Amino acid sequence: MQMAKIVQKPKQSKEQTKLIAQGIQKGIEEYKKRHKEKSRSLDKQKKQLQKDLSVEQPEQVSDTQIIYRQSKLGWLLLGISWVGFISYIGYSMLSA
């Protein structure tokens, strides 16, 4: 009603002002309704895109093959440490 009073012209009857207020109210309600529908539609599209992306991602992960290679350096260091340990024990037994 405030908006109708703002745009009210001189010599305008109260009934005309009420009709203008009702028209403004209907316009606002229609705008809100369209905005709500548009928002709902965008949410549905967003959910559909997320669903499509989540379906595609597992396929990409499953296509990649993971190959485990053991480093030869680790085995080499283990062998050297055992040889060193055995030679230390052997040398300490000979010295004693």
In this structure, is residue 90 part of a structural domain?
Answer: no
Higher pLDDT, 75 or 1: 75
pLDDT of 15 reads 85
Q: What is the number of domains present in the chain?
A: 1
In this structure, is residue 86 part of a structural domain?
Answer: no
Is the CB of residue 17 less than 8 Å from the CB of residue 5?
A: yes
**Tally of CB atoms within 10 A around 3:** 13
Higher pLDDT, 25 or 60: 25
In this structure, is residue 17 part of a structural domain?
Answer: yes
- CB environment 33-65: b (16+ within 10 A), e (fewer): eeeeeeeeeeeeeeeeeeeeeeeeeeeeeeeee
User: 7 — phi, psi (to 5°)?
Assistant: -90, 5
Domain range enclosing 8: 2-63
In this structure, is residue 68 part of a structural domain?
Answer: no
Give pLDDT tens digits for 32-88: 999 999 999 999 999 999 888 887 665 555 667 788 877 889 889 999 999 999 999
